[in-house]
Structures are given as C-alpha cells and as structure tokens.
C-alpha cells in the first residue's frame, strides 16, 4: 500500500491542452488519480485516527471520573475536619462557660 508520487513531474504534464475535450479528459484523469491517492491515504491512516479518537474519549471519561471522585474525597475530608473543629470549639466554649463563676 505504498503511495508513489513523482517528486519531479515532467514539464510535459503541465502543458495546457489545446483541445477542450483533451483538457477535460486530463482533468478527469487527474481527479481520479487524486481520488485513488486520497483513498489509499484514508485506508492507511484512518485506523490510527479512529483509535486515537476512541482513546481520547475513553481517557476523557476516566479523567472526569477521577476528578469527581477526588473532589468527593476532598469534600468528605473537609467535612470531617469541620466536624472535629466544631466539636473542639464546643468543648472549649463549654469549659469557658463552666469556669465562669455564678457569684454576684
């Protein structure tokens, strides 16, 4: 499936045709050649593009899932620390309240 493109096309291939029929036939021939070359390129590289696209989509979902789980873990840790800090603050305030003398 090797694509052979001429590196140095002959100058005769660039000569304009005098006859409109010949010019049309030359143009159609070039179009068919370009189409076949394009088809060969698609056949050769399309699996790579499909594989890379599917990999990108899968990895994107994995990345989003990882970020969601990481965010939830951080939020859970923050809530736990807030709960502990609230409990310590309540104990501190209760101790201060108990230290206050009732004497007037």
DSSP 8: S
Determine the Cα–Cα distance for residues 75 and 56; give it in Å rounded to an integer.
28
Taking alpha carbons only, the member of 40, 32, 49 closest to residue 4 is: 40
pLDDT at 19: 81
Determine the Cα–Cα distance for residues 77 and 71; give it in Å rounded to an integer.
10
Domains of the chain, by residue range, sit at: 19-99
Q: What is the pLDDT of residues 13-62, one digit of tens each?
A: 555 557 888 888 999 999 999 999 999 999 999 999 999 999 999 999 99
pLDDT at 101: 82
Give ∠ CA 38-59-47 in degrees, rounded to 5.
Answer: 20
Model confidence at 7, pLDDT cuts 50, 70, 90, reads low
Beta carbons within 8 Å of 40's beta carbon, 6+ residues apart: 1, 3
Determine the Cα–Cα distance for residues 64 and 75; give it in Å rounded to an integer.
16
pTM of the model as a whole? 0.54
């Amino acid at each position: 499936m090797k694509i052979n493109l001429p590196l140095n096309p002959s100058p005769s291939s660039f000569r304009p045709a005098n006859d409109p029929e010949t010019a049309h036939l030359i143009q159609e021939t070039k179009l068919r050649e370009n189409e076949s070359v394009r088809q060969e390129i698609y056949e050769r590289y399309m699996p790579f593009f499909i594989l890379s696209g599917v990999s990108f989509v899968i990895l994107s979902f994995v990345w989003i899932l990882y970020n969601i789980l990481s965010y939830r873990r951080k939020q859970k840790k923050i809530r736990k620390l807030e709960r502990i800090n609230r409990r310590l603050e309540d104990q501190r305030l209760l101790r201060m309240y108990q230290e206050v003398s009732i004497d007037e």
